[in-house]
Amino acid sequence: MYDLGMKYNVGMLKGPHYDGPPVTIETLPEFPHYTGLRRQHTVEYWMLASLLYPENGTRQQEAVRVLNPDSADVFFVPFFSSLSYDTYHNQGNETESKFDDQLQAEIVDFLQKSKYWKRSAGRDHVIPMQHPNAFKHYRDKVNAAIFVVADFGRPSPSVSNLRKDVVAPYGHVVETFEADDFSDPYDSRRTLLFFRGKTKRKAEGKDRKQLEKILSGQKDVVFEANGVAEGGVNASTKGMRSSKFCLDPAGDTPSSCRLFDAIVSHCVPVIVSDKIELPYEDEIDYNKFSIFFSREEAKKEGYILDQLKRISKTKWLEMWRYVKNITHHFEYQYPPKNGDAVSMLWRQVEHKLPAVKLAVHRNRRLKVPDWWR
């Protein structure tokens, strides 16, 4: 992990423009109790924190920080690009927006001068960019690196794609349902389908308006077109915990935090997004605990409800048990634990390494790069 001053990472948790020496285990601040976007796009903090946590032999660590760069498999760049966007660029202040751009430019300049970046052209570097607008103007300058993203809705495929990058879960906004131990969880969840969220969205998220017209007012359906500001977290928590299925349509990009809120609420997700990519999908089969509809199918009058009503109690209980058993894979926490979200993400990074090493080794010896094209 590169040693970067605090203005590039945890300093932003202390206040705008706060700077200091590189963060250590002693100076790592606790993560604030954010709600909304800042809580959703927090993977950068948890990945950094996991590398500061000392080895103690009591748990299996997927990634361990080494102090000798020549022994590193990958290089982590601890720039909080999502928090930088939310802190500076997302406030409508042109001067502050320019400061976010300045930080991005400084990181690019720093990396391009690093001999370790030059050695691999950045292919073995890991850069979190979970917010869809994070690192917005400079992504193409570092696009050989492994990005940690929420989805691929905004950047072009030449900049970010599933072949080289890692999909991370959003930080869930509702609290995990710890006491979900009813004798009959199926009958205790009286609502068939639940949705609460904004319906005025961009791109595929525009479907939410049509879904509202189709589903709002239907028997056993709760469809509330409200956001977090209108008491949304408490209302979503209550609604998801009392529903069998939770609707997860696309937002401004193909993914939505709602999926992960549903998972930790043990509410079977109903996913409507044609271009969504899912975290750790080489290890987790989402078909075992989720229902998928294409955008076209979802907008057919009565289709979603008809399909959900066909799912038997036995089948639903099977999906419910499965989602309960994998909930811990979607928890960001410190200290980190085996099998939690950060542990799974580092394993996903490891899965990218064979292709990275192949590209690095070939490029060192090829006189004519990519001769077969």
Average pLDDT for residues 354-371, to the nearest whole number? Answer: 86
Local confidence band at 56 (pLDDT 50, 70, 90 cut-offs): low
Average pLDDT for residues 212-221, to the nearest whole number? Answer: 96
Torsion sign (Cα): 313, 269, 350, 353 = positive
**Long-range own/partner contacts, residues 343-347 (CB < 8 A, 24 or more apart):** 343/50, 343/61, 343/62, 344/62, 344/279, 344/280, 344/283, 345/43, 345/47, 345/148, 345/166, 345/168, 345/279, 345/280, 346/47, 346/50, 346/62, 346/63, 347/62, 347/280, 347/283
Average pLDDT for residues 320-324, to the nearest whole number? Answer: 97
Q: What angle do CA 254, 214, 323 make, to 5 degrees?
A: 50
Tokens of 127: 């850069």
Element (H, E) at 97: helix 94-113
Query: Which pLDDT score, from 0 to 100, does residue 367 have?
Result: 80
**pLDDT tens, position by position, 190-210:** 999 999 999 988 888 899 999
**pLDDT tens, position by position, 120-139:** 999 999 999 999 999 999 99
Query: Given a cut of 90, is residue 281 above it in pLDDT?
Result: yes
Half-sphere exposure of 116 (CA within 13 A, CB side): 18
**pLDDT tens, position by position, 225-278:** 987 655 788 999 999 999 999 999 999 999 999 999 999 999 999 999 999 999
C-beta separation of 223 from 171 below 8 A: no
DSSP label of 148: E
**pLDDT tens, position by position, 83-102:** 999 999 877 788 899 999 99
**Long-range own/partner contacts, residues 28-35 (CB < 8 A, 24 or more apart):** 28/52, 30/334, 31/334, 35/173, 35/228, 35/233
Query: Which pLDDT score, from 0 to 100, does residue 35 have?
Result: 62
- What lies within 8 Å, CB to CB, of 309 at 6+ separation is 192
Q: Parallel, antiparallel, or unpaired for β 191-196 and 221-224?
A: parallel
Q: Parallel, antiparallel, or unpaired for β 291-293 and 243-249?
A: unpaired
Residue 295 DSSP SS3:
helix
How many whole angstroms separate alpha carbon 325 and alpha carbon 266?
A: 9
**pLDDT tens, position by position, 172-191:** 999 999 999 888 999 999 99
Residue 215 DSSP SS3:
helix
